[in-house]
Amino acid sequence: METLSLPVSVSLLHSNLVASDTTLAFVSNIKPNPQIHLLSLDSLKTPNLHNSLVKYKSEEEVLHINYLKVNNKWYLILGFYQSLQIWNEDGTRMLGYISKDEITGGDLETYFIGSCCCELINSIVVGSSKGSISILNISDERLCNFSTSLTLYGKNREPISVLCSYKSFVLSVSENGTGTFWNMEQKIELNSLDGPGVSATVGTNLKKFAIVGFGNGEVKVYNMKDKNILCNIWAHTRWITGICKHATRPIFITCAEDGFVNIWAIRNGEIETVSSKEYPHFLLTGVALSKDTAMIVTYDRSKLILEPL
């Protein structure tokens, strides 16, 4: 295990470490206004980390952070109570600022807490606290037509906390654990699957599989092609706080409040445990992958843990 010193301590936020091909992003624990820090992945090989700040236009709490790749370009997604912001990969330019008035019609109780990329329609899809999903179109590196972006409501109106996608299909998983499949080309809800009755906390997709972690330590693997659940895994004993996938290998990593980082593989439709390691006395809040190195952050600590796979 190798550790690198971060310039600030890390906030307690689900999936509070996200990565593009070149950059890591996380939310700091600075009070009263947390900051969003970006680290160059190249700087992990040098004694001094290259750190920069995203000058986001809000004094609100950050509810959601994500990197999404659309049309071979990376976008940094930031969700707040009052707005959603889209930035370029290195956080130097804001490409879109969407107030919730533009999507929700001024519903003061709505906020955005999930996002994914729907590759077949080349759009960003965001989920809301009212159980709706909205399509944000991208054109010439600019998000446009927010006032006419399509918003869909399904039968389940619980807050959406996780979104995953495969081709034209999107899976939204809510705070009551219900999973709902959508066809974004036809813009319809397909079917819903009952969940464990606890909140979905993190999610990622590995080809046709959507992998979602929950507050009870369970991981559900959904088959996005068949619109069903492949399997349930009792992956952890406490709240799952981070998840990521490998770019080229059929493996994914989970971390949780129980202090464990677990590596899993999907082979021939079966889930296998690759390894499990405990980090005692740490509250893990996020995990990301860069090539064959896992990067882990912990709450209220200014350290980045590096573990080779």
Is 34 within the bounds of a domain? yes
For 18, 215, 225, the CA distances from 288, given in Å and listed in that order, are 6, 19, 26
CATH of the domain at 103: 2.130.10.10
Is 155 within the bounds of a domain? yes
Residue 84: its pLDDT value, please? 83
Is 206 within the bounds of a domain? yes
Taking the C-alpha atoms of residue 89 and residue 74, their distance in angstroms, rounded to an integer, is 5
User: Which pairs with CB-CB distance under 8 Å and at least 24 residues apart come from 268-276?
Assistant: 269/230, 271/221, 271/230, 271/231, 271/233
Residue 217: its pLDDT value, please? 96
pTM, whole model, 2 decimals? 0.91
Is 109 within the bounds of a domain? yes
Taking the C-alpha atoms of residue 188 and residue 129, their distance in angstroms, rounded to an integer, is 19
Residue 147: its pLDDT value, please? 40
Residue 275: its pLDDT value, please? 96
Is 152 within the bounds of a domain? yes
Residue 63: its pLDDT value, please? 85
For 217, 258, 276, 307, the CA distances from 279, given in Å and listed in that order, are 16, 9, 10, 12
Residue 16: its pLDDT value, please? 93
Token readout for 42 is 């190249």
Is 306 within the bounds of a domain? no
**What is the full per-residue pLDDT of the chain (309 aa) written as tens digits?**
788 888 888 988 889 999 999 999 999 877 767 788 999 888 776 655 666 777 665 667 788 899 999 888 899 998 887 788 888 898 888 888 877 666 655 565 667 777 888 766 678 888 888 888 888 877 655 544 444 457 787 787 888 999 999 998 999 999 999 999 999 889 899 999 988 899 999 999 999 999 999 999 999 999 999 999 999 999 999 999 999 999 899 999 999 999 999 999 999 888 999 999 999 989 999 999 988 899 999 998 989 999 998
Q: How many domains does the chain have?
A: 1
Residue 299: its pLDDT value, please? 92
Give the dihedral of Cα atoms 188, 192, 198, 201; nearest 10 deg: -40
Among candidates 95, 60, 172, 69, which has minimal Cα distance to 127?
A: 172
Residue 141: its pLDDT value, please? 54
Residue that the structure tokens 């969700």 belong to = 79
Is 133 within the bounds of a domain? yes
Is 285 within the bounds of a domain? no
Identify the domain containing residue 215 by its residue range.
11-244
